């Protein structure tokens, strides 16, 4: 694809839209005046993990937030505003937090402080440092392991999902929804790039005491 022009993307867009209308002439009418997604997806920005594609979803079914390594940071206004809008205005009943095997963000956290990112005074470097702190217990366990690097990384990806899940169920919008009796289930999943399968690791559907 020629990356110096938008024409290839526009052509694919027109082709996709035409195919949808040929299959269903009213395909784009359903959510023309409103959106009513059933789920909020919080995932990694990795281009190989498009939420709508891997879940077979159509426009209007998922509200999506993606960032490096699917992180949940309590002072991230972008994420918090997405959560508030999805829960209280769109009324989603499900939040899916999804990591994926082969995550470059988790790999970078694993390689700190040797990673070049450690020397950069940038938002990305700070983000990876925060991620490494979230994973400190998993990193300690892996340091004593004799498993190969791929297995270690996969285990760390799962540990990251669990860590970010614990942050997610503790943030104010989620707890407020549960306290008010709003129906809301939160799931932590991991996506396998090799098989294309999504696996559930953890779930919670009501408020529990903070540790």
Catalytic residues: 44, 46, 48, 100, 103
| DSSP category for residue 66 | E
Q: Which residue has the higher pLDDT, 200 or 152?
A: 200
Cβ atoms of 43 and 51 closer than 8 Å: yes
Q: Which tens digit of pLDDT belongs to each residue from 8-66?
A: 999 999 999 999 999 999 988 888 888 899 999 999 999 999 999 999 998 999 999 99
Host H or E run for residue 59? none
Q: What is the CA radius of gyration of the chain?
A: 19
Per residue in 94-149, pLDDT tens? 999 999 999 998 988 887 665 555 556 678 778 888 888 888 887 777 666 667 77
């Amino acid at each position: 694809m020629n990356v110096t022009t938008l024409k290839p993307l526009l052509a694919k867009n027109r082709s996709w839209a035409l195919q949808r209308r040929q299959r269903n002439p009213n395909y784009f009418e359903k959510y023309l005046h409103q959106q009513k997604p059933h789920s909020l997806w919080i995932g990694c920005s990795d281009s190989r993990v498009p939420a709508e594609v891997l879940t077979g979803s159509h426009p209007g079914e998922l509200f999506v937030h993606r960032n490096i390594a699917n992180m949940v940071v309590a002072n991230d206004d972008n994420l918090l505003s997405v959560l508030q809008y999805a829960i209280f205005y769109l009324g989603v009943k499900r939040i899916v937090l999804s990591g994926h095997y082969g995550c470059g963000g988790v790999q970078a956290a694993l390689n700190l402080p040797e990673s070049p990112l450690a020397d950069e005074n940038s938002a990305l470097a700070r983000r990876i440092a925060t991620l490494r702190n979230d994973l400190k217990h998993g990193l300690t366990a892996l340091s004593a392991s004799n498993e190969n690097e791929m297995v270690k990384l996969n285990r760390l990806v799962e540990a990251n999902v669990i860590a970010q899940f614990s942050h997610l169920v503790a943030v104010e919008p989620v707890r407020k929804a549960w306290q008010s009796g709003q129906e809301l289930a939160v799931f932590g999943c991991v996506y396998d790039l090799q098989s294309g399968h999504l696996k559930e690791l953890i779930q919670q559907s009501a408020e529990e005491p903070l540790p």
